[in-house]
Structure 1
Amino acid sequence: MDITITMLDGTAHTLVVDPDKTVGDLKKLIHVKFGVAPNTQRLMFVNGQTVTLSEDTRKIHPSFQVFVRNDKGKTNTYDTSPDETVHKFKSRVEHREGVAVSQQRLVFQGREMMDGTLSDYGVKEHSTIDLCLRLRGG
């Protein structure tokens, strides 16, 4: 994947990195290519998520966009990552769509998403997830 590095002076450089590498590996590469010591680097993803020095062993997982289609056919775009939990994602859907987590059924490729992470269900960039409402009854 391509990562754009913006220096403090505003110059931008593009590096090709393996997304399975760690943040520490990326910092070493920046040090080799541009002479910036790893302990002075502050890395941020495009979505503004800060990666601090204590997270050097963390894998580089890019954020990506998915689509959520509601029961009326309206589609909204969400920025997410493969390791986001289904519960956290449902909470964000609740905030934006106004549907309580307890009333949501998120379905991707015919499978209801219950627990785990989005990657556990094979959700990738530009995937469409259907938001279905639970039937109320008694």
Structure 2
Amino acid sequence: MFEQINFCERFSELSNAFQSGNRLEAFDQKLVERIMREVSPYIYYNKKERCFCEDVEFTNGVVHLRLSLKYAITECMMGASIQSTGERFGGPLTRVARKIYESKGADYVKLKHPRFSSYDELRIIVSRLYNIFEDFSKAVIEAYEG
């Protein structure tokens, strides 16, 4: 699924563009929640998991998005659970990229999670990650709806 949506190229570009040494570590949670809702009205903050979440349910499963912003590092996980087959796939995006590169026998350049030094950078990062999530969700639903 990830290869179908050019995930490695998109995530590599995002990772490389946002590696600022200066990070916005003391950010306003309310402002961040507002930014998240601008990106998607379905994203919510889960206090137990300490991350922003969105789950897209469809007849044969669910697609997950998890975003942690601890230390102004945007750690993102995406995955899917398929009811009919019991399959589960996805994970932290840095690990997903590594596994794809390894499966192709390509040299892997270690990717880091995007970092933000301002609310504007956070908005850009989250918007791009959400675009990847939307494309991933569509690919999963098309493949497993059935």
TM-score (norm 1): 0.24
TM-score (norm 2): 0.23
**Structure of higher CA gyration radius:** 1
Q: Which has the higher contact order (CA 8 A, sep 6+)?
A: 2
Higher strand share: 1
